[in-house]
Amino acid sequence: MSIEVLTLLLLACILVSFALGAPVGLALGGIAMAVGYMTWGEGIFTLIPTTIESNFFSFILLAIPLYIYMGQLLTRSGIGDAMFNASQMLIGRIRGSLAISVIGVCSMIGAMVGIIGAGIMTSGSIALKPMLDRGYDKRLALGVIMAGGGLGILIPPSIPMIMYSATTQNSVGRMFIAAIVPALISITLLVAYVVISCKMNPEKAPLDTGDERQMSKPEKLRTARDGFFSLLLIVAVLGSIITGIATPTESGAIGVVGAILLAVLFKRFRFRMFQSAGFETALLVSASMWIILGASVFSNFHMLSGVQNMVAQFTQDLGLPPIGVIILMQVIMLLLGFIIDELIIVLMCAPLFAPIVVSLGYDPIWFGILMILNIEIAVQTPPYGFALFYLKGIAPPGVTMMDIYKSITPFILLKLLVLIICMLFPEVVLWLPNMIMGEG
């Protein structure tokens, strides 16, 4: 069977499996094993132990449950509310200040959780009701929550970045540092849009900032303290990696201990909270590990069958310049984002595309950031971006899918602008890691 026919067969099987609602990890692994048995015979069964050995005995992957656990502890202990109140109090009486606070805080919460779906649902559960109660435009409220929560995978620590680094054998620290400038540009553009939009259309956002204005001085000091220490934990986790004090995995352990200490310090620690955070983490990690196994078996089988040569030959036949190949890869990942989530896209595309990118003379860290930016857009793009349905799940009954589509459209265009800037000017991504850690 030629690699072209094999690729079409695998793609068709994937689409049918997802349409039938099959579990993602089981579908990908099962398809690879079934098709592999038809083409390779019994030799396909050696792929499972070798994949497990190469993927699950990686010290880097241990960071995933640690970061997820840190996020669960922070959100369940009410630290997200503390960050929200502190941010709102700091910004003060500006039209749209609550929306600006939501972008910043939801970005941080998304970073704590590390994956888009959980980030958006957690952010929405904290921020949506206060915005609607204070008279904010429904579409603006939905849009900033989706945009801010989605930024979580671009702001370190990020689970997709760890997976990209693990599957392509690149530095997690460089990935984290490389994402900082694109993340700052994204947040700046989103905040600028909110400010300009609210100034042009004051009905979108009331000027009153709410309960923060009636706080007593002790309450303001307590709110500022809670917000400061919450932000300090994130800085400590990222800073320990940048300075070389800890590996990404060790920094995840620092984050877990810090989250517990903050819960105790803020007098929010409860055994039930501790227990429920552990159970939820176990469920998320178990699901992630099965997806990683299935996707890794699938991608390894596809690569060993020669798909990289097929893609290289295909791009050569099209006569595309190197940047044209990069754009083609972006389009492919954008389309994949309509039907599968960010973790699977990374696990399927990273081992396939990264070697081709390197062979074209590009930096794999730069391409990894482009992949994260692309995925962030793809899973939020109407009509089938799966993150849209996460937001619908927590929205009030009066919110329709059309409201959500219209709310996210301007923010998607801004994020697409960031992707284009980073693609055309690689130094936007590579300048900071090269300055801090030297040339890669």
pLDDT at 251: 78
Q: Write the CA distances from 412 to 10, 56, 260, 305, 323, integer angstroms.
A: 30, 35, 35, 36, 22
In a domain, 277, yes or no: no
- Confirm if 212 and 89 have CB atoms less than 8 A apart: yes
Contact in structure between 179 and 137 (CB atoms under 8 Å): no
Give residue 61's pLDDT: 66
Q: Does 168 share its domain with 75?
A: yes
Residues 153 and 29 in one domain: no
pLDDT confidence of residue 189: 94
Domain stop point among 249, 280, 305: 305
21 band by pLDDT with thresholds 50, 70 and 90: confident
Residues 86 and 46 reside in one and the same domain: no
Stated pTM of the model = 0.70
Q: What is the structure's pLDDT at 59?
A: 64
> Do residues 61 and 162 touch, judged by C-beta distance below 8 A?
yes
How many Cβ atoms are within 10 Å of 346's Cβ, its own excluded? 28
Burial of 267 (0-12, 13-18, 19+ CB in 10 A): exposed
**Cβ–Cβ < 8 Å for 122, 192:** no
Residue 182 — very low, low, confident or very high, per pLDDT cuts 50/70/90? very high
User: Does a structural domain hold residue 285?
Assistant: no
pLDDT for the residue 246: 79
Q: For residue 282, tell me if it sits in a domain.
A: no
**How do residues 330-380 score in pLDDT, each as one tens digit?**
988 887 776 666 777 887 788 888 888 888 889 999 999 999 999 888 878
Number of domains in the chain: 2
Residue pair 342/160 in contact (Cβ under 8 Å)? The answer is yes
What pLDDT is stored for residue 214 in this prediction? Answer: 65
Residue 276 placed within a domain: no
Same domain, 47 and 75: no
- Predicted local distance difference test score (pLDDT) of residue 207: 67
Average pLDDT across the chain, whole number: 79
Say yes or no: 34 and 143 in one domain: no
Question: How far apart (Å, rounded) are the C-alpha atoms in residues 74 and 276?
Answer: 12
229 and 368 assigned to the same domain? yes
pLDDT in tens, 43-78: 888 888 887 876 677 666 676 688 778 777 877 777
pLDDT digits (tens, 9 = 90+) for 70-122: 777 877 777 666 666 776 677 666 777 778 877 877 676 666 656 666 567 66
Tens-place pLDDT, residues 234-278: 778 767 766 778 776 787 788 889 888 888 887 778 888 888 888
Confidence of residue 405 (pLDDT cuts 50, 70, 90): confident
Asked if residue 160 has pLDDT above 80, the reply is: yes
Range in 28-42, 174-188, 339-353 with the lowest mean pLDDT: 339-353
Task: Indicate whether 131 and 236 sit together in one domain.
Answer: yes
Task: Select from 246, 280, 305 the last residue of a domain.
Answer: 305
In this prediction, residue 51 carries a pLDDT of 79
Residue-range definition of the domain harbouring residue 373: 58-269+306-437
Q: Which of 281, 305, 329 is the last residue of a domain?
A: 305
